[in-house]
Structure 1
Amino acid sequence: MFVMRFTERAYFNYTEEDVKNSPGGAHRVTFSNSHFDPAVAADQYNYYLDEWQYCEEIGFDGMMLNEHHSTPTSLGAAMNLEAAILARITKKPKIVLMGNPLPIHENPLRLAEELAEIDCISRGRLVSGFVRGGGTESWATNTNPVYNRERFEEAHDLVIKTWTTPGPFRWEGKHYHFRHVNPFQVPLQKPHPPVWIPGTGSAETAAWCAEHHYPYFYLGIVPYTFGYMQDIYRDAARMHGYEAGPQNFGYMLPIHVQDTDEKAKVEGRGFLEALVGVGRVPMPREYSFPPGYNRATRDMWADDEREAKVRETRASDPFRTGPVTDETFQGMIDDNRMVIGSPDTVIRKVREVLEQVRPGILAVWTNDGSISHEATMRCLQLMDQEVLPAIREIGDELELPGPFDIDP
């Protein structure tokens, strides 16, 4: 099993009233950058880089980065810049980008060049994830959401051809037109760096991943929806002549460990602010789903009953919605939506999750939101001493090969 570490790298120097008083009352898109203090962010960026370096000492297989725009919930607005730094200051872990939002790029050739440089600097440690990007990214970059999926697929095809076909050549697509394609830099890995695709529950994305033999990495932290995506992927894989196994699936799990269960619950509550920011003020729905972002037509993989269940689960998901009570927080812990506790508790509950979802890729989401740097470092120390070795043993026992053990 491939085990990597993840965090959103949140900025938290603002208040709930700041959010409520922002245009639209939102923590994304319209939340003013007047609330950004560069001096505070300078400390936070360096704390996060220190944590990543320590993750190499611990022995994580990979370091997972993502990218968001116009929001304090993620300081990673230029993920490839962070990846380039990690490519130089670390030596062993894979640098897993989950991922570059392709539809917002007007020049995918520049993206292909950046990723090729990262792969060369890291001496072939890049895993290049691509995403459609949330609706908020369309607002932040003035990109027409109607063409989101079309641009995603065309930009993907152009980047892959750029990496694998000697130039110069011409590209004339629907959304991208280049008379001269010939970036000089190409990746060290051949034919190109591994491509993994994250998603939150789109049947079409899961089937597209299976068609391309790309691992599908689930970000939703809802086992039911992940099972639905796995079924779709497996069916699509059979149509393309192969059987999908654990190496084709990834799962992200918030895990925060402290010396005692009580301490872990106090610190781990900061997770709840990770996606929705300080105060957990609900964001206008049209920010996340601008008109046209979701297709009006249905594809062959859609299932009315299951998709209704997915929508219902999302709508009531306390991880992504408004204020959370002590009771709902405990319920999320009891349901293993978040694994929080002492080393013994965490190891036992991680086993339960792995037995249920059986991923070949596990992203350990160790900290986020208002969880402090000090609490994060203690969490990572305990991961090193007790939890990570146990996770590896469980992965071996359950026979969960990763994508570097068996080719997806």
Structure 2
Amino acid sequence: MEKSILVMVLVLAVLPYQLQSYYTPYNRLSIDCGATNTWEDPLTNYWWRLDDEFIKSGQNILLSVTTNRLPLETLRYFPEGTKNCYNLPLEVQEKYLIRAGFYYGNYDNLSKPPTFNLEFDGNLWATVTTSLGTDPIYHEVIYITRKEYVSICITKTQQGQIPFISSLEAISIAIYDGVYRLMNNDTALYLERRTNYGANQTFPERFDTLAEYYNRFWKPEQLPNYQNPFNGIDSDFSSMAENSPPYKVLNSAIRAQNVSDSIFLPIDFHEKAPLSAYFVFYFYHVGPWPNLNNITKQIVYIDGIEKNATTVRPYEECVVVSVYPVNVTGTANVTISPAQGTTLPPTLNAMEVFTTIEVSSSKSDPRLSFCAFFYVLVCLSGVVVWFG
């Protein structure tokens, strides 16, 4: 009997090391859903992996159309079951940018793009509404992981409609503690928009890893009512300012026509219900370079309420203004106005807008997966049979 107890103790002592062998966390993970071959992204030099090691349900298909992004030319669709989930092995208690991509491409020849839900760790992430258009749909969330495996689920919500997914990415952004520093452990940040102001539509949304380590997409946008200055400096590095914005983004901007004018930006949100928003503004001087006595002093208002007053000086680092929380319902109106003493018009280089998702806490031990539980049963069964 004593020998039996001793063996059981040894089995349980070794068990954590056995469980650890099943868990290999990724700091950066790119999954080409539905693909049959891995491939290296020439822009980032990271490899896109197959998805069959992260999910066992669903069917793969190759689209009959070509796009400017290879991950969108295959997809995995889910004709069976209400909920189908990917399990991503990620570092615990780290901040990740997680992005899911969807491109219908009329893969089923039915011309009926589906609508379905996207979830992470049991939390509703987004309602995905696909279309017959040629532009992909991306949903992005910034999330502090709770356990070793993050569950990304595609959930059927409409009878007769089949959900699918084209790509799935997870990038750790925990290198610098100050990245999106105002978010807390109880919420995730859902991306509403990330805009590269002053850049025209021919400017890329994606950059190489040296310029944009976090692989964020920055949508270029010029506004005809404002000046759209562009430095023309092609820097391959990111700024040392908060959130590490790429200089490729900071080198363009929108600027008010006159020193006494303001910038007005209406921001639409994905739903009309009351939401809590997180704004990030990026200010950096774009040429022509004035003398050192010329500065931009400006005040940021959201829905008429002053949120920040800042000064932007030529030849100095980017100024980043983060504002959270901001209560919004449907639309928010951003105004950037000149402050007393400014000698240059208000300017905005880039802006990110998020809304928060309340994150439910998991009560289960993340280490005790089904495989681990099965392993325990096998070990204990062997002990019982051995010792009778």
Same fold (TM over 0.5): no
More strand by share: 2
TM-score of the aligned structures, taking structure 2 as reference length: 0.21
More helix by share: 1
Query: Higher relative CO (CA 8 A, sep ≥ 6), structure 1 or 2?
Result: 1
